[in-house]
Amino acid sequence: MRVMKFGGTSVGKPERMHQVSQLITRDGEPTIVVLSALSGTTNALVEISNSLAAQDKVGSTEKIDALEKHYALFINDLIKDASLKTKAGAIIKEHFEFLRITQRISLSDALNKEILAQGELMSTKLFTLYLEQEKIEHALIPALDFMCLDINDEPDLTLIEQKIKVVLAQYPAKKLFITQGYICRNAKGEVDNLKRGGSDYTASLIAAAVQASVCEIWTDIDGMHNNDPRVVDKTVAIEQLSFDEAAELAYFGAKILHPTCIWPAQQGNIPVKLLNTMQPSAAGTVIKKEAGSTGVKAVAAKDGIIAIKIKSSRMLLAYGFLRKIFEVFEKYKTPIDMVTTSEVAVSVTIDSDLHLDEIITELNNIASIEVEKNQTIISIVGNEIAKTDAVLKKLFGAINEIPVTMVSYGGSHHNISLLIPSEYKTKTLQLVNKGLFNL
Ligand code: ADP
Ligand code: ASP
Ligand code: MG
């Protein structure tokens, strides 16, 4: 069994859906296809939800109408068969009626998540109608029947494995399955999601659950590049990454992959391939156990970081002090990304301000606190780069004009992370591109 995931741009136009239908049937191998919402849809749903939260009826109506128009045009191009066109129209009508009903009820967190789920529900239904038109045998398997979270809102891989086996067993004669990325059910049974960009995570979880031979992530670029192509002009695709390298890049901001989507594939030792729907013959990037080579491979940047400096002249190095600090973050379910210590202070970074006030209040009882917002983590990743100081020398030579506020080195053999004020991100990525990659 193979898993193939197609992102928003890969299904965002009727002709792209045609291309996807060709890619998934290229060799008759049993395949589970994971689809995102059409590009722009989840953003539009977030905006609709924001208008609903602000009780802006005019705004939400305008946004719902505009999105519905987009889908009407999409169906018109995608489906030629008259009776299937009527069917597609009815499907879209039902989803937009649901959105209009939400204007009359108060917006809870659960309802918000149902709104966000509409994109993937619509894209998969429209795509399966297209497959029907093209007479391509398939089965639509609803992700809400098997993708589930545990009580900590983390994917429950054991349960997903059990449930998807039951679902697949209902179709012994089928070889092609279509499902939604991103959406799932939480421990309460409500519709939930795997956070923005979560369809990659769905694909990797399914791949691990069915012990797939490969997890292919099809997107709009030919693999993981050495630097962020949205920020830097000249970037190149990387041939091979280890699971560890890819996980670091994804977690530290390489948008091509959801931050935590590598672990399920790594756990099942399933190769992940990053491929370009618009250029299917390009080699792309393969992610597997072996790194393939040593040395610097890529740099990524993660914005929205908050640095917290915790100072205590009296007891910093007393044992138990760090535990007390970390317990505060644990209590508020806030992961720490970077940590550095000195004789009198420990600095940590977090990427969410959701519980910042409570965290600061509690830390203030232990030590004196300074908070710096608008920071960016720059992560340089490559197999064994932190084993010698060669990369470190080159790196600091290249970025000597950047005011670095924290450095993390030696935590693993394949990552060097720097904290910088966000306004220096573009400059830093450009300097690293020149200094470390000669680009
Ligand atoms: P999809 O909708 O297919 O999930 P995404 O927009 O989530 O696609 O991810 C693909 C995009 O990630 C690319 O178009 C590119 O702009 C961006 N990106 C950021 N960093 C990198 C990187 N290091 N390598 C490749 N793409 C990257
Ligand atoms: N549609 C969702 C999003 O835009 C999930 C995804 O595309 O991976 O975040
Ligand atoms: Mg994505």
**Cβ–ligand 1 contact at 230 (below 6 Å):** yes
Q: How far is the CA of 196 from the centre of ligand 2 (A)?
A: 5
Could you tell me if the CB of 155 is within 6 A of ligand 2? no
Q: How far apart are CA 148 and CA 158, in angstroms?
A: 10
Is the CB–ligand 2 distance for residue 12 below 6 Å? no
Closest of 135, 95, 91 to residue 117, by C-alpha: 95
Residue 174: is its pLDDT beyond 70?
yes
pLDDT at 325 > cutoff 80: yes
Tell which atom from ligand 1 comes closest to the C-alpha of 253. Answer: 20
Average pLDDT, integer, range 162-187: 98
Tell me how far the alpha carbon of residue 278 lies from the centroid of ligand 2, in angstroms.
19
428 Cα: distance to centroid of ligand 1 (angstroms): 19
Note the ligand closest to the C-alpha atom of 246: 1
Instruction: Specify the ligand 2 atom closest to the Cα of 194.
Output: 5
Would you say residue 37 has pLDDT above 60?
yes
Query: Would the pLDDT of 314 be above 90?
Result: no
Give the chain as a 3 state SS string: CEEEEECHHHHCCHHHHHHHHHHHCCCCCCEEEEECCCCCHHHHHHHHHHHHHCCCHHHHHHHHHHHHHHHHHHHHHHCCCHHHHHHHHHHHHHHHHHHHHHCCCCCCHHHHHHHHHHHHHHHHHHHHHHHHHCCCCCEECCHHHCCEECCCCCECHHHHHHHHHHHHHCCCCCCEEEEECCEEECCCCCEEECCCCCHHHHHHHHHHHCCCCEEEEEECCCCCECCCCCCCCCCCECCEEEHHHHHHHHHCCCCCCCCCCHHHHHHCCCCEEEEECCCCCCCCEEEECCCCCCCCCEEEEEEEEEEEEEECCCCCCCCCHHHHHHHHHHHCCCCEEEEEECCCEEEEEECCCCCHHHHHHHHHCCCEEEEEEEEEEEEEECCCCCCCCHHHHHHHHHCCCCCCCEEEECCCCCEEEEEEEHHHHHHHHHHHHHHHHCC
Q: How far is the CA of 218 from the centre of ligand 3 (A)?
A: 10
Residue 36: CB within 6 Å of ligand 2?
yes
Q: Is 256 in the pocket of ligand 1 (CB under 6 A)?
A: yes
Mean of the per-residue pLDDT values of the chain: 96
C-beta of 219 in contact with ligand 1 (< 6 A): yes
Cα separation of 379 and 358, whole Å? 29
Q: Are strands 240-242 and 285-288 parallel, antiparallel or unpaired?
A: parallel
- The residue contributing the CA closest to ligand 2 atom 5 is 197
Burial 2-31 (b: 16+ CB within 10 A, else e): bbbbbbbbbbbebebbebbbebbbeeeeeb
Residue 316 pLDDT exceeds 90? no
The residue contributing the CA closest to ligand 1 atom 7 is 256
Which residue has the CA at smallest separation from atom 1 of ligand 1? 7
Give the ligand 2 atom nearest the CA of 119: 1
Of ligand 1's atoms, which has the minimum distance to the CA of residue 225? Answer: 24
| Residue % of the chain over a pLDDT of 70 | 99
Nearest CA to ligand 2 atom 8: 197
Distances (CA, A) of 218 to 69, 76, 125, 267, 331: 27, 25, 19, 21, 38
> What is the pLDDT at residue 344?
80
pLDDT of 365 above 60: yes
Q: What average pLDDT score do residues 110-130 get?
A: 98
Domains of the chain, earliest start first: 2-220 (3.40.1160.10), 297-437 (3.30.2130.10)
Mean pLDDT of 312-316: 66
What's the pLDDT score for residue 196?
97
Ligand (nearest to CA of 284): 1
pLDDT given for residue 317 in this prediction: 60
* Contact 9 CB / ligand 1 (< 6 Å): yes
The residue contributing the CA closest to ligand 2 atom 4 is 42
Ligand nearest to the CA of 219: 1
pLDDT attached to residue 412: 86
Q: What is the pLDDT of residues 59-106, one digit of tens each?
A: 999 999 999 999 999 999 999 999 999 999 999 999 999 999 999 999
Is the CB of 379 within 6 Å of ligand 2?
A: no
Per-residue pLDDT at 342: 82
Q: Once rounded to an integer, what is the mean pLDDT over residues 334-341?
A: 94
pLDDT digits (tens, 9 = 90+) for 210-224: 999 999 999 999 999
- The alpha carbon of 257 and the centre of ligand 1 are apart by a number of angstroms equal to 7
